[in-house]
Chains A and B, each alone.
Chain A
């Protein structure tokens, strides 16, 4: 009589499970949609009570994100004549003028440079080390495992104390190079471990064949092993990139301007007068949406990678 089967769920079970999961997914995505929506609200719509679900979209948040504005007297405003561009018109409406560009593009650029720079470096170093550990039967394997876990355990604030001193004496504070080195080091142990797993899966016979064909060991590495490990390298790279992209604690302590990334900057976006939520939301949207799109497009590799990375350890 019992129609229950774990391996072959009934249609009703599927329907029930699907409904619950979809419900949870909708609740979970609501705050994210709210961020995106708030970016297109006017400041007064953003703080309206009750919260507005439907509103007239405006680009004020985005204009405020990219500019600094200042208040001028009405006489000065009149002297200036008609605003020339649509964004100036938006700003003038509140009795303000655009004083200059904001620092947001620079912070975003820093995030890109530091994110990609540390990812490339981490992958280059990590792949090389992983290959050596995989092919040369290094008896450090167990120590390495221990090492990975232990570096993951340190709170970043605790690590930041000596790093701060070290960077200060080397002049690396608030530099791209310093942040790239730091993020590379933080990611390196994990990526060596992940990559070693991927390389382990490549049959050693391929290389042997290549060596017999007259390849040097180095040629065999980049002509045979690297193409085989490409998928693994790509998913490891995504993890390094996402970590560096999202990192906050080191960034807030070790950068102040020149190399400051977006995460410590976005919460400090402030308008004329008070907190400018549409501008904050606009900044957050520009920063978060690439990751969301990325996640959805690459979901197959990404989701497998997360479990692979965690479970292997």
Chain B
């Protein structure tokens, strides 16, 4: 199928181009140019995926080379779906996902709206706001544990300074009610700029003639905001939500460094839970089934979302 499509492509090239070619034919060039990428993607993306699906029906364990691998049918899948702890990690992930998206959309949009007022030096300040998202989440996340320390941490000190609370009276990472918010705060700090940039692109894509027409019609600023700005930015905003949603569903590095999933299992997101199964308990078959379930989940949710997005775009 791949073969024939590239073939067809080569034939479909405009005749002007095919006329004067010395050396390699277009078809050969197309092959030479595309093949390495396809091979690499097959080898490192597609082949492992197939292997994962196959492993998910076995009891294979990486750390038991001497044990015979048995086919266990759907047992891994049934065990995972009936495991209460895994549902708890799903809940933790959902909590993290929903709140980070809500906060990042609100703050990100507000910032983009303000930056779009084109005050002097806005691009430098935009760059400064963007800095956190360019940095390594693991390295930065690790340092946030220091900022979160009761007593000596900058965060606790700042909160204490602003609210009058004793900086040693609360522990963002150690407390079961605060820990989920500790990871949300850092993620929001890191990734709000991403939402902001996309909203900014959306705001800047609105032709000023639309606003000028509205002003001629004496539409109030409030009305302009709701009938022009929001609908025009919405497709961009929904894209931003899609990317943040997918990224945070995969979240691993930042949270592992911040809380390691604790206290207890309060912030144990699915990726962290999966890592424990796959690379600490070394239950490879079981973890493979887990990975397949996650993939199907995120893929399903994303497809539904993309359909909705396309509807919004068409409107």
Give the B-binding residues of A (Cβ under 8 A): 2, 4-7, 9, 13-15, 17-18, 20-22, 24-25, 28-32, 34-35, 38, 47-51, 125-126, 128-129, 131-133, 135-140, 147, 149-166, 168, 181-182, 184-186, 188-189, 192, 204, 207-208, 211-212, 214, 216-218, 221, 242, 245-246, 248-249, 252-253, 262-264, 266-267, 277, 280-281, 284, 287-288, 291-292, 294-296, 299, 302-303, 306-307, 310-311, 313
Given contacts A21-B125, A32-B132, A140-B2, 8 further A-B contacts (CB under 8 A): A9-B118, A20-B114, A21-B111, A30-B154, A138-B30, A153-B250, A155-B291, A248-B252
Least Cβ distance of A240 to chain B in Å? 13
Partner of B9, one of A7, A137, A155, A184: A137
- Decide: A161 and B118 in contact? CB cutoff 8 A: no
Q: Are A161 and B257 in contact (CB under 8 A)?
A: no
- Report if A292-B200 is in contact (Cβ < 8 Å); known contacts: A5-B211, A126-B37, A155-B250: no
**B312 within 8 Å of A (CB atoms):** no
**B43: Cβ under 8 A from any A Cβ:** yes
Q: Are B143 and A284 in contact (CB under 8 A)?
A: yes
**24 residue pairs A–B, Cβ–Cβ below 8 Å:** A6-B211, A15-B119, A25-B128, A50-B157, A147-B41, A149-B306, A153-B299, A154-B250, A157-B278, A161-B48, A161-B291, A182-B44, A185-B45, A189-B41, A211-B20, A211-B21, A217-B17, A218-B23, A267-B257, A288-B135, A299-B123, A299-B127, A302-B130, A307-B197
> Of B26, B33, B129, B139, which one neighbours A287 at CB under 8 angstroms?
B139
Q: Which residues of B contact A189 (CB under 8 A)?
A: 41, 45
Contact A161 B287 (CB under 8 A): yes
What B residues does A128 contact at CB under 8 A?
32-34, 36-37
Q: How far is the CB of A118 from chain B (nearest CB, A)?
A: 11
Most chain A beta-carbon neighbours within 10 Å: one of B6, B38, B142: B142
**With contacts A162-B52, A217-B26, A295-B130 known, is A306 near B21, CB below 8 A?**
no
- Asked if A165 and B140 sit within 8 Å, CB to CB, the answer is no
CB-CB under 8 A for A280 and B5, given A158-B295, A288-B136: no
Using a CB–CB distance below 8 Å, which chain B residues touch chain A? 2, 5-6, 8-10, 12-14, 16-17, 19-24, 26, 29-30, 32-34, 36-38, 40-41, 43-45, 47-49, 51-52, 55, 62, 107, 111, 114-115, 117-132, 134-140, 142-144, 146-147, 151-154, 157, 167, 189, 194, 197-198, 200-201, 208, 211-212, 215, 220-221, 224, 228-229, 236, 239-240, 243, 246, 249-250, 252-253, 257, 270-271, 274-275, 278-279, 284, 287-288, 290-291, 294-295, 298-299, 302, 306
- Do residues B197 and A14 form an inter-chain contact, with CB atoms below 8 A? no
Are B198 and A307 in contact, CB atoms less than 8 angstroms apart?
yes
Complex CA gap A15/B12 in Å reads 57
**Tally of A-B residue pairs with Cβ under 8 A?**
329
Contacts of B127 in A (CB 8 A): 295-296, 299, 303
Contacts of A49 in B (CB 8 A): 151-152
Whole-angstrom distance from the CB of B117 to the nearest CB of chain A? 4
Majority SS at the chain B contact face: helix
* Whole-angstrom CA separation of A45 from B42 in the bound complex: 52
Q: A20-B114, A28-B129, A246-B137 are in contact. Are A149 and B13 (CB under 8 A)?
A: no
Given known pairs A9-B117, A48-B152, A153-B295, the reply for A288 and B129 (CB within 8 Å) is no
A-B CB proximity, top 4 nearest: A158-B291, A162-B48, A185-B44, A18-B119
C-alpha spacing A173/B139, complex, angstroms: 23
Asked whether, in the complex, the Cβ of B295 is within 8 Å of the Cβ of A267, the reply is: no
Query: Shortest CB–CB separation between residue A307 and chain B, in angstroms?
Result: 4
Assess whether A137 is in contact with B138, with CB atoms less than 8 Å apart: no
Chain B hits for A50, CB < 8 A = 157, 167
Residues of A within 8 A of B132 (CB): 28, 31-32
Contact A151 B45 (CB under 8 A): yes
Given B135, B236, B250, which contacts A246 in the complex, CB threshold below 8 Å?
B135
Known pairs A2-B220, A20-B114, A156-B250; A47 contacts B143 (CB<8 A): no
Please tell me which one of the listed residues B14, B37, B220, B239 contacts residue A311 in the complex, with CB atoms under 8 A apart. B239
B146: which of A136, A212, A277 is its contact (CB, 8 Å)?
A: A277
Q: Are A6 and B23 in contact (CB under 8 A)?
A: no
* Contact call A133/B13, Cβ cutoff below 8 A: no
Q: A128-B33, A139-B5 are in contact. Are A292 and B125 (CB under 8 A)?
A: no
Q: Which residues of A contact B299 (CB under 8 A)?
A: 150, 153
A4 to B214, CA, bound (A): 12
Residue of A nearest to B254 (CB): A248
Given A151-B45, A155-B294; A6-B224 close (CB under 8 Å): yes
- Expressed in whole angstroms, the Cα–Cα distance for A132 and B288 within the complex equals 35
Chain B residue numbers with a CB within 8 Å of A25 are 125, 128-129
Residue B139 contacts which of A30, A266, A302 (CB distance < 8 angstroms)?
A266
CB distance from A23 to the nearest CB of B (A): 10
In the assembled complex, the Cα of A292 lies from the Cα of B19 at a distance in Å of: 50
Closest B residue to A307 by beta carbon equals: B201
Instruction: Kindly name the residue among B52, B167, B302 whose own CB sees the greatest number of chain A CB atoms within 10 A.
Output: B52
Task: Decide if A307 touches B200 in the complex (CB within 8 Å).
Answer: yes
